[in-house]
Structure 1
Amino acid sequence: MSQITIYHNPACGTSRNTLALIRHAGLEPVVIEYLQTPPSLERLRELVAAVGVGVRGLLREKGTPFAELGLADPKWSDEQLLGFITQHPILLNRPVVLTPLGAKLCRPSEEVLELLPVGPLQPFTKSDGEQVVDTGLRRKPG
């Protein structure tokens, strides 16, 4: 099976549910706990390009030093923002998942379904009790 990678924070419920959904599909991803093993500046650039939401789209505000650092101010360039993420990896929103079908910030966790190379899956119950039903729609490779 082709490689799947998740940039994961085990303290985040959405990240845990996303990882559980991948495993529910019978797949075992490469799990990068990015707070312990932060991505390099170059890797962050690659993630931003792959996900396609821009640097600000991958910034997390809640539970981070976002406000204290004044990152809402539009004066910060993308490169400066990437520098802040390398200094404070908690600023990277999660989970980011990469598969042969693409890359995505998987918020909510069921967003990962369109990236999985298998399916449709049996219904899945998230940790909060919400049931996820897979429609079987997937991205096209490439």
Structure 2
Amino acid sequence: MTEPIRIFHNPRCSKSRQTLELLTERGIEPEIIRYLETPPTELALSDILDALGLEPRQLMRTGEQEYKELGLDNTDLSRTQLIAAMVATPKLIERPIVTANGKAAVGRPPENVLTIL
């Protein structure tokens, strides 16, 4: 059985809404994960990062106040520490993220997600 297509979604984010609309226009009804309410586990986020080919800081919203308040710009922090911070403060996770077929893409721009479908 194949895994469902998932979107880590923030309905207040225009890019997230546009990405969801792009999927539904193509007849895809993804599983919607409101990651601010239900953040991914550390293992799930690590798997997403691996699928994206990114390190944690590359998927972080570094302009958020919490990024600076939590000292996440400290280059001595490990991958594990950064992932834990993202799970504890999901607002720091760039959005939207779509996962499908063991792959992942960030919907910035929304059309990026088409490459994994």
Residue aligning to 1:53: 54
1:109 equivalent in structure 2: 110
Aligned residues: 116
CA distance in 2, matches of 1:32, 1:62: 23
5 Å matches for 1:57-76?
57-76=58-77
Give the Cα separation in 2 of the matches to 1:64 and 1:22. Answer: 31
TM-score between the two structures when normalised by the length of structure 1:
0.75
Whether the 8 Å contact between 2:23 and 2:29 is mirrored in structure 1 is: yes
- The aligned runs of 1:35-54 (5 Å cut-off) are 35-54=36-55
Q: Which residue of 2 aligns with 1:92?
A: 93
**Identity percentage over the alignment?**
39
Q: CA deviation at 1:64?
A: 4.7
Task: Output the CA distance in 1 between the equivalents of 2:22 and 2:102.
Answer: 16
Paired position in structure 2 for 1:25:
26
Instruction: Tell me the distance in 2 between the aligned counterparts of 1:64 and 1:5.
Output: 28
Unpaired segments ≥5 residues, structure 1: 117-142
CA distance in 2, matches of 1:28, 1:79: 32
CA deviation after TM superposition for structure 1 residue 110, in Å: 1.5
Q: What per-residue deviation string (whole Å, max 9, x for no partner) do you get for residues 52-103 of structure 1?
A: 1111111112345112112122111111101111210111111111112721
Distance, in Å, in 2 between the alignment partners of 1:101 and 1:43 is 12
Take 2:45 and 2:12, find their aligned partners in 1: how far apart are those partners? Answer: 21
- Residue 29 of structure 1 aligns with an amino acid whose one-letter code is P
- Measured in 2, the distance between the counterparts of 1:9 and 1:62 equals 17
> Which structure has the larger Rg?
1
Q: Which amino acid counterpart does residue 93 of structure 2 have in structure 1?
A: L
Q: Which residue does the alignment assign to 1:79?
A: 80
- Per-residue deviation, residues 29-53 of structure 1 (Å, max 9, x unmatched): 0000001111111111111111111
* Residues 6-42 of structure 1: per-residue CA shift (max 9 Å, x gap): 1111111111111110011111000000011111111
Give how far 1:115 is off.
2.1
TM-score (norm 2): 0.90
- Whichever structure has more helix as a proportion of its residues is 2
SS in 2 for 1:65: helix
Matched residue SS, 2:32: strand
List gaps (5 residues or longer) in structure 2: none
| Greater relative contact order (Cα < 8 A, sep 6+) | 2
